[in-house]
Structures are given as structure tokens and as C-alpha cells.
Amino acid sequence: MNDLHGILFAYRSDANLGELTRPRNTCSLPFGGRYRLIDFMLSNCVNAGITDVGVVVHQSYQSLLDHLGSGKDWDLSRKHGGLRILPPFSYTEAGHGEYRGSMEALAGVYDYLEDIRQDYVLLAWGDTAINLPVNQVFEQHLASGADITMVCTPTLKGAPQFSEYVEVSEEGRITDLSVHPTSADKALESLEIYILSKRLLMDMVNYCSAHDVANFSRGVLQPRLKSLKMMPYIHKGYVGRFQSVSDYFQRSRELLDPAVRADLFNTARPIRTKDQSNPSTYYGPESRSVNSLVADGCQIEGEVENSILARGVVVEKGAKVSNSVLMQGTVVKAGASLSYVIADKDVTVNEGRMLMGHATYPLAIAKGSVV
């Protein structure tokens, strides 16, 4: 699909995710044992035949750079085009601070936008777990004659104060957009994934720069609901959104459902990630693993139940891990017990320690902690 260019926003570092986003932005948050959140939208682009993708970053993106590298693992390492990381060069030179919104972010990479070779652009946040048939979205966009196609879901997952909702007429056109209301007042939630022409995008960026408009939804979409033809693409598959520590924990536990895994990791549209070439996981003779996702390179000699373990996790003999998410390199020493815990990378839980959170309020342990 050489007529579509991908732009992924990866500058958000959500404070509501607490310890999980202190060392990184939200797009580089580990998920599902092997992946980072950016992997999903990046893979969606590649699966649709998109060969050029720009990733808009601002700060705390070292972890993201380490993960993406040259883009080789997504077949985006190319002499012309491919994957491009877009720091805010022109924006920082102007003496501004953090981006106030996506239109300001696009203005910060204006030179890149001008050089886009394709006629159409996919705009999306890179921190949503979704297996989206982008080619179908694009086909619908062209067939409908829409100015903007907005991907929506009937399965409301976001907290209303951080989400957007649309109303659709009988003719199928978007007629109303609520941005961060106090309650979910409409049947469709916007996933903030859009397809529009490059020409329209450039007109919008120029307008927003001239009028100091930073926010895409409030500053561009809401005022133009009547003048632009906006159409929804309704995605009925799984969607994972991450707006709090509790959200992250619940979305992680949903992966233990085989139906969710089958949808999110659809083999027809594979989710790619960085190749780490880890050895197989070792299970000791007295180990026990029940209803858990365990990545490569782990050493399991204790008990693991209803949990997700990333690469290189060690659970020593006599240790018990239940209803928990352990990120890469976590070590649970002999006799320790974890329940409803999220352990960030390289956490060490000492012998005999008992750590317990709650299903709605999991205990999050910061990266590199020894507890």
C-alpha cells in the first residue's frame, strides 16, 4: 500500500501510569511478556504494506530508540523511507516546552511532513494494543469519499475523562464528537486513529500554527464536523487502552483469555517485535505453571499461576507468583510470595518476602528496585 504513510505519536508519558512510565514514555511500555505497545500500531502499518513510518517523539524516548533500532525487525530498515524517529528539532529551537497536543507535535516535524511522498496519511497514537486491518480502513476511506476516517470501537474501554466519543447519523456520518466528557455519553469510542489526505493534513497544520491551535480533536475536528465529511470505521475486535496502573494490569490479565490472544495476535496479521534470540524457558522438576504466559529465557523452579512473565524472569524454588505481571529480568528469590503485583524490569524480590496488592489496585514496583 504505497499510497499511505504512517505517522505514530509516541511522545506521551502518562503520569497516571505512575512508576511504569517514569523511566519511559507510554509507547515503550512492555506488554504481554515479549512486546512493547509501539509494536502493535507499527505492525499494523507494516501488515498493510506501508513502507514509510514516522514516529513523533519528544522526551523520555531512549527506551523507545533502543527497542526500535533501525526498524529491521519490522522490515522498515530502508535506504529511502522506512522508519524515521522524529525528535522536535524545530519545536525546541522555538523555546517551547512539552507538546500541548498532536497538532503542535506535527508542526514540530513540519519539514518531514512536506517531504511525504504518499497522498494519504495514517495518524495514530502508538500506545494502543490493537490488531487493526489498516488496509480495510483505507479501502473504506477511499470508497466512502470521506475527508477523514476515524477508527472507533463499540467496546468502551477508556476512562471518560481521558477518552473521546462520537455520534453517527443514519447515513453513517459522524455528527458529534465529545472530548473528555464526565461520562461515556455515546455508543462509539474514538481510538484516535485517522486516515486523511496529505493535502488536508498540511492545510490543518498550517491553520493550527497560524492560530495557535494545539489539539486535533477540539481545535480541528469539532469545529469542522459540518464542513468536512467524517466517517467512522467500526473496529469490533479487541482493543487495549492504558490510562492507569489498574488499566495496565487488567489489560495484561485479559491476555490470559485465549479468545483475546487469538484476536490480538492474529496469525494473518502478525505482531512483530525486537528479536532478542533468548534460549527456551527452563522448568525445574518441582516447578508448577498454571494459566500463565511465560516468555523465552525464563527459569521457573517455583510456582506461577494466572501471571505474565517477560523474558529472563527467574522464579526460584519455593517462590510463588500469582495474578502478577513480571517484566524482563525480574528475580523472585526462594520462599518469596507475590500476588497482584506488577514488577518493572530488573526488580529483585528478596527471600521470604510477601508482596500483595489487590485486583483493582495492584502493587507496582519501580524498575531496578530491590524489595
**Per-residue pLDDT tens over the stretch 276-310:** 777 899 999 999 999 999 999 999 999 999 999 99
Full domain range(s) for residue 97 = 4-264
139 part of a folded domain:
yes
Query: What pLDDT score does 1 carry?
Result: 52
pLDDT digits (tens, 9 = 90+) for 18-63: 778 776 788 889 999 999 999 999 999 999 999 999 999 877 678 8
Same domain, 158 and 291: no
Same domain, 66 and 152: yes
Same domain, 51 and 130: yes
**For residue 146, what are the contacts with CB-CB under 8 A and spacing of at least 6?**
229, 230, 231
CA 53 to chain centre: 15
Same domain, 291 and 347: yes
Is-above-0.75 flag for pTM? yes
- The answer to whether the CB of 233 falls within 8 A of the CB of 6 is no
276 part of a folded domain:
no
- Cell numbers placing 187: 455508543
pLDDT digits (tens, 9 = 90+) for 196-224: 999 999 999 999 888 888 889 998 999 99
Q: Following DSSP, what letter does each residue of 61-84 receive, concatenated?
A: -HHHHHHHTTSGGGT---SSSEEE
What domain count does the chain have?
2
Same domain, 290 and 242: no
- The answer to whether the CB of 165 falls within 8 A of the CB of 186 is yes
Residue type present at position 244: S
Last residue of a domain, one of 205, 237, 264: 264
371 part of a folded domain:
no
- List, in sequence order, every residue forming a beta bridge with 148; answer none if it has no partner: 196, 230
DSSP 220: I
Same domain, 356 and 258: no
Last residue of a domain, one of 264, 298, 333: 264
Same domain, 199 and 83: yes
Same domain, 229 and 361: no
- The answer to whether the CB of 192 falls within 8 A of the CB of 124 is yes
Same domain, 293 and 256: no
Distance, CA of 63 to CA of 67 (rounded, Å): 6
CA 295 to chain centre: 20
Same domain, 210 and 344: no
Q: What CATH number is given to the structural domain containing 361? A: 2.160.10.10
Same domain, 314 and 202: no
Cβ-in-10-Å burial (0-12, 13-18, 19+) of 104 comes to: buried
Same domain, 334 and 305: yes
pLDDT higher than 90, residue 160:
no
**For residue 38, what are the contacts with CB-CB under 8 A and spacing of at least 6?**
8, 10, 27, 28, 55, 64, 67, 68, 126, 127
Distance, CA of 12 to CA of 104 (rounded, Å): 13
